[in-house]
Copies of this chain bind each other. A is one copy, B any other.
Amino acid sequence: MPQARVHRIPARAPDDMTGLTRLIRDGVIDPTGIVAILGKTEGNGCVNDFTRAFAVAAVKAVLGTVLPAGAVNRIVYVMSGGTEGALAPHWLVLERSSYDEGRRPALAIGTSHTVDLPATGLGRRAQVEMVRVGVLAAMTEAGLDDPADVHFVQVKVPLLTAERIAAAGGAVRTTDTLKSMGLSRGAAALGVALALSELSEDQVTDQAIGNDIGLWSGRASTSAGVELHNHEIMVMGMSRQWSGPLVIDHAVMSDQLDVDPVRDAIIRLGLPIKAQLVPSERRRILAVLAKAEAGSSGRLRGHRHTMLDDSDISATRHARAFVGGVLAGLVGHAELFVSGGAEHQGPDGGGPVAIIAERE
Binding site for B on A (CB under 8 A): 10-15, 42-44, 46-51, 53-54, 57-58, 61, 83-90, 161-163, 165-166, 175, 177-178, 226, 256-257, 259-260, 263, 274-276, 294, 296-298, 300-314, 317-319, 321-330, 332-335
Cβ of A207 to closest chain B Cβ, rounded Å = 13
Asked, given contacts A86-B256, A311-B314, whether A300 binds B50 with beta carbons under 8 Å apart, the answer is no
Cβ of A350 to closest chain B Cβ, rounded Å = 12
CB-defined contacts of A48 to chain B, threshold 8 Å: 42, 306, 309-312
List 18 contacting pairs A-B, 8 Å CB cutoff, sorted by A.
Answer: A44-B311, A48-B309, A50-B50, A53-B54, A85-B85, A85-B305, A86-B300, A87-B305, A87-B322, A89-B304, A161-B298, A161-B309, A162-B297, A163-B298, A178-B311, A256-B334, A321-B325, A324-B325
CB-defined contacts of A332 to chain B, threshold 8 Å: 257, 301
Chain A interface mostly: loop
* Pair B275/A12 contact, Cβ less than 8 Å: no
CB-defined contacts of A276 to chain B, threshold 8 Å: 257, 259-260
Cα–Cα, bound, A348→B263 (Å): 29
Instruction: Out of B15, B274, B302, B321, name the residue touching A274 (CB < 8 Å).
Output: B274
* Pair B49/A311 contact, Cβ less than 8 Å: yes
* Pair B177/A308 contact, Cβ less than 8 Å: yes
Instruction: Out of B42, B57, B313, name the residue touching A84 (CB < 8 Å).
Output: B313
* Pair A329/B86 contact, Cβ less than 8 Å: no
Cα–Cα, bound, A351→B333 (Å): 17
* Pair A53/B13 contact, Cβ less than 8 Å: yes
* Pair A88/B49 contact, Cβ less than 8 Å: no
Cβ of A114 to closest chain B Cβ, rounded Å = 22
Asked, given contacts A166-B297, A259-B275, A334-B257, whether A44 binds B312 with beta carbons under 8 Å apart, the answer is yes
Cβ of A117 to closest chain B Cβ, rounded Å = 19
Cα–Cα, bound, A257→B85 (Å): 11
* Pair A50/B309 contact, Cβ less than 8 Å: no
* Pair A275/B260 contact, Cβ less than 8 Å: yes
Give A313's nearest chain B residue, CB to CB.
B313
Cα–Cα, bound, A279→B152 (Å): 31
Instruction: Out of B57, B296, B309, name the residue touching A175 (CB < 8 Å).
Output: B296
* Pair A333/B275 contact, Cβ less than 8 Å: no
